[in-house]
Amino acid sequence: MEAALSPVERKAVLICGGAVKVPRDFRPPFRLSRSTAGPGAGSASLVLAFNGMRVKKAISREEGEFELLGGPEGYSLLRNGMPFIDELELRPVLYHAPEQAFFNLGQECVFDCLFCTSRRLGKDFAKDLDLDRMVAMVLEADRKGELKAVAFTSAVVGSVERTVERMVRAVEMVRRALPRVPIGVEPYVSGFEDIDRLHEAGADELKLNIESYDPGIVRAVCPKLELPRQLELLRYGVQVFGRGKVASNILIGLGESDTNVLEGVAELAGMGVVPSIRALKVNPLNRPALEAALGELEPVTPERLLRLNVEAKKILMHHGLSTMTFRTMCHECGCCDLVPFKDL
C-alpha cells in the first residue's frame, strides 16, 4: 500500500518512475532546469522536496505517471491518479543542481556510451559553454548568496586531452575568482597526469565513472571505456584527492546482477572511493541502441534501488566512508540518486 511508504521509499518510486505532468498553464516560480548530460539530457525538470528528501523529475504538459497539483501556496503529487505526496515544495536549481553551479562544458562527445543521450540532441541544444560567461554566472550567483559549490562535467570533445585542458582552465578561472568555493570535477581522463593537473588547478573533489562493474556490459555499452584502467585511475585519484573525496557512478538496469553491483561497491570503497548507485533512465533516444546491444532491459524497481543502497551503506560504513564528506557534485546534490547517510 502506497499510504504506508516511508519518505525514502517514495523517493525511490519517484527516481524509478516516469515524468511529472504539470498543467498546460503551469508557470514555475523560477526557471526550469534542463539537463545537458547523461541519459536524461534534453529534458526540462523540477526539483521536488518533501520530508527531507529532494528529487529532480522530468516534467510534461501532456502526460505522466505523476501529476503536480496546487500552486505557490502549496503543492501535492498524484501517482496514477491517486494521492502520493500530500505536501511538497518546488526548489530552485542554481545551474543544474540546488545551491550548486554544476556546468557541462561540452556536449558533442567522441565517445559513444549507449545510455547517454547528449550526442543525440539537436545542434540547437548542444552548445559548448563559454568560460568567461560561466565565470560571470558563478560570480553573480555568489553575489546573490545562492552559491555553495561549483562543479564541472563534460563530454569528450575532440579528444580527452583537449577536454581535460578546457576543464583545467575552467577550474583555474573559478579558483582565481572565488578562492574558497568548493570545486568538483567529473572528467574522462587518460592518465595520472590529468588527475594531477585538475587537482593542481584547484579542484577539491573528483568523480570518475566506471558506469558498470560488469566487464561485458562496459564493453557493450561504453566501448571506449576500459574498466581495469578506470579502476587504476580511481585508485590514483584517491592518492591525490584523498579518501572520501573521489566518487564514481555505477549504473543499474543494464542487465547486471545485484552481486556484481555490490562487488563493485566493495572494490571502490576498499580503495577509498564513494560510489553512487544510479538507476538507468531509458528513453526513446537511448532505448534502441541499448536493447540492440543488451536485449530487452528490465526496468529498475524502487525496491531494488533501495535494497542495493542499504547494502552499499553497510559496505561504506565498514570502510569508514560516508557521502557526507562531499561538498560538490552528486553526493551533495542528491536529486538523482538515493544517497546513503542522507536519505537512508
Residue 57: name the closest of 3, 93, 106, 5 by CA. Answer: 93
Distance between CA atoms of residues 251 and 39, nearest Å: 11
DSSP 224: T
- CA–CA gap between residue 93 and residue 18 (Å, rounded): 20
Residue type at position 153: T
Coil, helix or strand for 261? helix
The secondary structure of residue 95, as a DSSP letter, is: B
pLDDT digits (tens, 9 = 90+) for 236-255: 999 999 999 999 999 999 99
The angle subtended at Cα 112 by Cα 162 and Cα 129, nearest 5°, is: 45
pLDDT in tens, 60-113: 999 999 999 998 789 999 999 999 999 999 999 999 999 999 999 988 888 889
Whole-angstrom Cα distance, residue 17 to residue 139? 36
Question: What pLDDT shows up at residue 108?
Answer: 82
Report strand pairing: 53-60 vs 20-21: parallel
Question: Structurally, what CATH architecture does the domain formed by 96-333 represent?
Answer: Alpha-Beta Barrel (3.20)
| Domain boundaries along the sequence of the chain | 2-91, 96-333
**pLDDT higher than threshold 80 for residue 41:** no
Residue 4 CB coordination number (10 Å): 6
Whole-prediction pTM value? Answer: 0.94
User: pLDDT of 243-293, one tens digit each?
Assistant: 999 999 999 999 999 999 999 999 999 999 999 999 999 989 999 999 999
Q: Is the pLDDT of residue 39 over 90?
A: no
